[in-house]
Structure 1
């Protein structure tokens, strides 16, 4: 190959020789324009819809069982409304959701002689919208439930003006003094040791019933100055919570957990942290406590201590928020401990009750 031919060949292949060295020069190419979504053919659209459907199903199946049951109940309520009113089942619109709210307002509540609580109606709206989107593939307009919630607020105002009450109301906070009374009333047997540890830990992590029900022994690990509790199963916000030793040994959650772990011989890290006990012999049984049973332990513990307030499974959670605020902690710090959103309206409502008594315009005036 001659010098001229060699140079032409190198130029053609993108290589030019300069001072016996080879320099690579990229050959300019024009990339093909990507196909726009509106130009997809039928097969591509079908494949993408199938992928989207599988993704939605995977996320839905990954929800906690309690959440799935709740959504199923909400959709069942919507289905009954549709059958009663003649609304097509998948016609989830702003107008039909308003009709749904007004229909729910007249339905019986959790107890005979009561009507549906506003909080239940609000949850029914959410469950219906989510189920329509995820379970039935209905494409809903953004903010489809806004009008329905505004109508619910109007009905609540009318209810309050008429002096009517609905629902069970908010859970009473379980406070530090209550913890001391509960601890003192727990019997010195395996049930008493378990109940004491469960109530104290429930308070310390500001837990939800289902979070503690899913805990295994390995989820309470030794940490600096106490324990590290892994609330890994949560329908809202999984989190790792530091639990330091308490300044009062009698109500210290770390010491109480250690006592329960040793008394129950919980040596298998994969075993449930909160075990079922035989109702008569108080011996260990297979399996852990169900979420509802966690709440039952809290209720019975308060009754055993002779406290007139009826506590529920949510009481320790609210109690931690209340007690922490009384000590001056910021909302963000409290939210992190209990897995609330940093600006949670629910948490803000709990704290507002504390703030009204601690920072009241009448203090020092009368």
Structure 2
């Protein structure tokens, strides 16, 4: 008898599996509890700033419900359209203004996420599609009427601005910190909260420069290589090294970007808040006498713009700043540069 004839094949006995509609009440309750726990675990893992933003969005939804008589948990296509129309009439960030379209879009997202994560609602996919279509209609009407809302896009902070900002930073702890922060902010195309969460260990020094670990990000964490710059005055690696030495940042677990005492200007243990990082960028531009009001988003947009001006591909830029490879937002930034380099009139007139 051959070896093959001596082999006893394993017999697999299929186990009859109950279909979901056949689950008993106890099983359904247990599975719903597991789902709620999973949603809660993901929600608790979000950055604090994201959680606060969603809480504000849900609070806005609550005000709308109180004003319109809509039940708080009635998150549906029709009520979200009503929410958009209600938000459209609400006051904006400054006196005499109205809510910006970008804020309304964020309120929609935050409300839907909160309804699912915080209140366990099982909402259909695309529940907010109708509301966003209504928002687009309102924006079109606004533009046809010549109305503007919101602050508009952040102006890009370019290399020419970095040179002036670096030169204007005073030769003290505040100036050394501000220079290093703005230059690193630009180099990693960072978001304010990404830098705010950085620890000293997240800037690993190598022979070629720094590996910046932006491990806390509400979009996509990433490790960004930051090489030495050709101009020492605006080199983010040298600026970081100068700040690290001046502030005596010897504890690798401590915050990389630290507050300074209001009176004594000594380095404090606490890190900077995301909003404070944006304020430092704004003040750095003002200190340099630049007639542009930069925001915390300006270095991020500035890296994208400056890199494109040097001919870098969108994929390369996206990787540096943590954008999706074919991000529409990033494409919009690059289009500002491309409109002159790839223009239908070139060579025609």
Please indicate the TM-score interval, normalised by the length of the shorter structure.
over 0.9
* Residue of structure 2 in register with 1:331 after alignment: 314
State the secondary structure of the residue aligned to 2:211: strand
Does residue 309 in structure 1 map to residue 300 in structure 2?
no
Distance in structure 2 (CA, Å) of the matches to 1:351 and 1:152: 25
Distance in structure 2 (CA, Å) of the matches to 1:224 and 1:101: 53
* Residue of structure 2 in register with 1:186 after alignment: 169
CA gap of 1:268–1:87, structure 2 versus 1, over 3 A, is: same
* Residue of structure 1 in register with 2:17 after alignment: 34
* Residue of structure 2 in register with 1:104 after alignment: 87
Q: How many residues align?
A: 349
Deviation, structure 1 residue 247: 1.0
Q: What RMSD in Å do the two structures reach over aligned CA positions?
A: 1.7
Does residue 355 in structure 1 map to residue 338 in structure 2?
yes
Distance in structure 1 (CA, Å) of the matches to 2:90 and 2:136: 17
- Whether the 8 Å CA contact 2:183–2:235 is kept in 1: the answer is yes
Distance in structure 1 (CA, Å) of the matches to 2:143 and 2:319: 33
Deviation, structure 1 residue 23: 4.1
Distance in structure 2 (CA, Å) of the matches to 1:39 and 1:281: 70
Distance in structure 1 (CA, Å) of the matches to 2:2 and 2:212: 69
State the secondary structure of the residue aligned to 1:319: helix
Does residue 248 in structure 1 map to residue 237 in structure 2?
no
Task: Select the residue among 33, 42, 46 that pairs with 1:59.
Answer: 42
Distance in structure 1 (CA, Å) of the matches to 2:59 and 2:311: 44
Distance in structure 2 (CA, Å) of the matches to 1:207 and 1:172: 15
Task: Select the residue among 32, 35, 38 that pairs with 1:49.
Answer: 32
TM-score calculated relative to the size of structure 1? 0.92
Per-residue CA shift, 1:173-215, capped at 9, x if unaligned? 0000000000000011111111100000000000000110111
Gaps of 5+ in 2: none
State the secondary structure of the residue aligned to 1:227: strand
Does residue 278 in structure 1 map to residue 261 in structure 2?
yes
Task: Select the residue among 125, 130, 145 that pairs with 1:162.
Answer: 145
* Residue of structure 2 in register with 1:4 after alignment: none
Distance in structure 1 (CA, Å) of the matches to 2:189 and 2:77: 36
Does residue 173 in structure 1 map to residue 148 in structure 2?
no
Distance in structure 2 (CA, Å) of the matches to 1:106 and 1:48: 42
* Residue of structure 2 in register with 1:15 after alignment: none
* Residue of structure 1 in register with 2:218 after alignment: 235
- Whether the 8 Å CA contact 2:282–2:293 is kept in 1: the answer is yes
* Residue of structure 1 in register with 2:73 after alignment: 90
Larger Rg: 1
* Residue of structure 1 in register with 2:63 after alignment: 80
CA gap of 1:27–1:245, structure 2 versus 1, over 3 A, is: closer
CA gap of 1:19–1:244, structure 2 versus 1, over 3 A, is: closer
* Residue of structure 2 in register with 1:139 after alignment: 122
Gaps of 5+ in 1: 1-17
Distance in structure 2 (CA, Å) of the matches to 1:359 and 1:326: 12
Distance in structure 2 (CA, Å) of the matches to 1:24 and 1:254: 66
Deviation, structure 1 residue 224: 4.3
* Residue of structure 1 in register with 2:201 after alignment: 218
